[in-house]
Amino acid sequence: MTTVRSPKFELSQYKSVSNEELSTRIEAVRSQLGDQLLILGHHYQQDEVIQHADLRGDSYQLSKLAAESENCRWIVFCGVHFMAETADILANRPERDRGGDRVQVVLPDMAAGCSMADMAAIEQVENAWADLGDVLDTEDITPVTYINSAASLKAFCGRHGGIVCTSSNAAAVLEWAFARTSRVLFFPDQHLGRNTALKMGVTNEQMPVWDPCADELGGNSESQLLDSRVVLWKGHCSVHQMFQADHVADFRERFPGIRILVHPECPQEVNDLADISGSTGKIIRAVREAPAGTKWAIGTELHLVNRLQKEHPEQEIHFLSPIVCMCATMYRIDLAHLCWALENLAADALVNQIEVDDETAKWSVIALERMLAVTG
């Protein structure tokens, strides 16, 4: 195991190096470390970074890849913090006994967080659970956390009979939850929860929003909670929140026949008007499988839409919003950080390791494995 944690090389040395040289040096470390190194990249990463990933995917695919990683000693995660935490939990789950050797997970920039994940803190969720217990039987509520959340929230779900979901399996996960209990507490993304449950016949009246900052009962009356089927956490993605129903109407007017393709983190008004809604993986598949000449307006993070435009010149691809919607935290992973992390790793200096403590990992893996079992 690589244990040295203080960097041998300082990040500042990398800032003025050209992208071309950084790319060459990154590839040199990849060749040197071979199969021991696995670089995973989320679809929202910049082109210049994701080209160095061994494997890329949406959040679900990336968790499966980490869970199935066989020979590697290190996973370097080009994505955000909750993804690296999930990789650490799944790559090191108890049944994968590696004789005491952990797979060590590295996030090239520790500031690559997720503003949505930050909208639900474990203390807030525990308080909400206790408050819900004043009105409802919590034995009859399944807590469901979107994978975009801290490991402590996944552990909360593991401890309370709950489960994790991603944007690609939220419907299957909610079905699993409703087979078990009559209610769900869904956090932190209200839009994914609402958009998924609406398609299953749950009404907006049955989905009160829980505001963790409200004085009492998350800002709801007792009768609203008694009538609820899904209690939605008041959280959202600041990137997908920017897409609006007006943008859809505008494209439909200007480009008759255009297909609207959005991520389920977009608000309900946008999802309702879209032709297709799905994870980044589903968005990519939809474009790949479409015939030449198809016109799309796509509502998801800018770097992915720009890449699809470049990869599919035979189609006409537009960005759904007139303003730039990019994930500033995903963007923090740049070539300088990646090269810095990798060259330190190759010099036995493990920097920016993401390591979930044993107690949190023990409970979160239960909620994550439930998701993997439901999704298959």
The 236-255 site mask, x for binding ligand 13P (CB under 6 A), equals -x------------------
Partner interacting with residue 59 (select from ligand 13P, ligand SF4, none; CB below 5-8 Å by kind): ligand 13P
Partner interacting with residue 338 (select from ligand SF4, ligand 13P, none; CB below 5-8 Å by kind): none
Among 279, 321, 352, 353, binds ligand 13P (CB under 6 A): 279
SS3 273: helix
The owner of tokens 């949190």 is 360
Residues 6+ apart with CB under 8 A from 324: 302
Looking at the Cβ atoms of 141 and 270, the one nearer to ligand 13P is: 270
Looking at the Cβ atoms of 60 and 176, the one nearer to ligand 13P is: 60
Per CB under 6 A, 145 contacts ligand 13P: no
Binding part of the chain for ligand 13P, among 54-62, 103-111, 196-204, 216-224 by CB under 6 A, reads 54-62
Looking at the Cβ atoms of 169 and 364, the one nearer to ligand 13P is: 169
The 103-122 site mask, x for binding ligand 13P (CB under 6 A), equals -----------x--------
Per CB under 6 A, 167 contacts ligand 13P: yes
Partner interacting with residue 315 (select from ligand 13P, ligand SF4, none; CB below 5-8 Å by kind): none
Q: Which two tokens stand for residue 114?
A: 């997720």
Cα atoms in the 13 Å half-sphere on the side-chain side of 186 = 31
User: In this structure, what are the phi and psi dihedrals at residue 76, rounded to the nearest 5 degrees?
Assistant: -105, 120
Per CB under 6 A, 330 contacts ligand SF4: yes
Per CB under 6 A, 280 contacts ligand 13P: yes
Nearest approach in angstroms of CB 375 to ligand 13P is 12
Among 138, 329, 352, 353, binds ligand SF4 (CB under 6 A): 329
Among 69, 148, 220, 271, binds ligand SF4 (CB under 6 A): 148
Site size toward ligand 13P, by CB under 6 A: 13
Q: Which two tokens stand for residue 207?
A: 């989905």
Looking at the Cβ atoms of 224 and 267, the one nearer to ligand SF4 is: 267
Among 33, 58, 87, 342, binds ligand 13P (CB under 6 A): 58
Which DSSP symbol is given to 291? P
Partner interacting with residue 220 (select from ligand 13P, ligand SF4, none; CB below 5-8 Å by kind): none
**How many CB atoms are located within 10 Å of the residue 15 CB?**
11
CA triple 43-48-53, angle to 5 deg: 55
Nearest approach in angstroms of CB 148 to ligand 13P is 5
Residues 6+ apart with CB under 8 A from 167: 58, 59, 60, 146, 192, 263, 264, 265, 278, 279, 280
Hey, what amino acid is at 113?
G
Q: Which of residues 58-117 bind ligand SF4 (CB under 6 A)?
A: 80, 114-116
**How many CB atoms are located within 10 Å of the residue 31 CB?**
8
d(CA 166, CA 47): 23
Among 125, 147, 209, 237, binds ligand SF4 (CB under 6 A): 237
128: left (phi over 0), alpha (psi -120 to 50) or beta: alpha
Torsion of CA 82, 87, 89, 91, to 10 degrees: 180
E-assigned strand segments in the chain: 37-42, 55-57, 74-78, 104-106, 141-146, 163-165, 183-187, 209-210, 230-233, 259-262, 276-277, 295-299, 316-319, 353-354
Contacts with ligand 13P, residue ranges (CB under 6 A): 43, 58-60, 114, 148, 166-167, 237, 263, 265, 279-280
Interface with ligand SF4 (CB under 6 A): 80, 114-116, 148, 237-239, 265, 301, 327, 329-330
